[in-house]
Amino acid sequence: MNVKTIWLIDDDPMNNVYNSYLIQEYFPAIKTECFLYAGDAIKELGKFPRSRKLPDLILLDITMPIINGWEFLQICLERFPGIIHKSKIYLLSASDNPADEKSAAEHPLISGFIAKPLHADFLLDIIRKHQLV
């Protein structure tokens, strides 16, 4: 059985708890993994393909310490070029900067921009769009 996986990369633990709960509430068969630091997610991506598969979906915050969302995306482009074909990435951010939404629309790794908080209707649309269930 091919278990679908969603990574939540956000430095706010409460956002990760809430989003994980929301996903499990509607889609209990989908596995969620939470990362408070983008660097930890990059380390996990470095294990591919030896010991794990790439996540099917990544919900990525923009504003994080050490490595922000944009830097995470740049590292992915440089170190993990296969991610563009394997994982769908959505920015999930509280940013009200129109430039962030514009940059997201133009970025080759980003499938969309979602304003926090994540709502069930957006989640349902994304999961159906990418056939994760």
DSSP summary character for residue 117: S
Query: For residue range 53-108, what is the model confidence (pLDDT) as tens digits?
Result: 789 999 999 999 999 999 999 999 999 887 877 899 999 988 888 888 899 999 99
**Backbone region of residue 20 per phi and psi (left: phi > 0; alpha: psi in -120 to 50; beta: other values):** alpha
How far is the C-alpha of 9 from the C-alpha of 42, rounded, in Å?
10
pLDDT of residue 52: 66
pLDDT value, residue 60: 97
Alpha carbon 88 to chain centroid, angstroms: 7
Residue partners of 124: CB distance under 8 A and separation at least 6: 26
Q: pTM of the prediction? A: 0.93
Q: Distance between alpha carbon 21 and the CA centroid of its chain, in Å? A: 15
> In what side-by-side order are the strands of the sheet with 5-9?
31-35, 5-9, 57-60, 88-93, 110-115
Fold of the domain spanning 5-129: Rossmann fold (3.40.50)
Does residue 129 surpass a pLDDT of 60?
Answer: yes
- 19-42, pLDDT tens digit by residue? 999 999 999 999 999 999 999 999
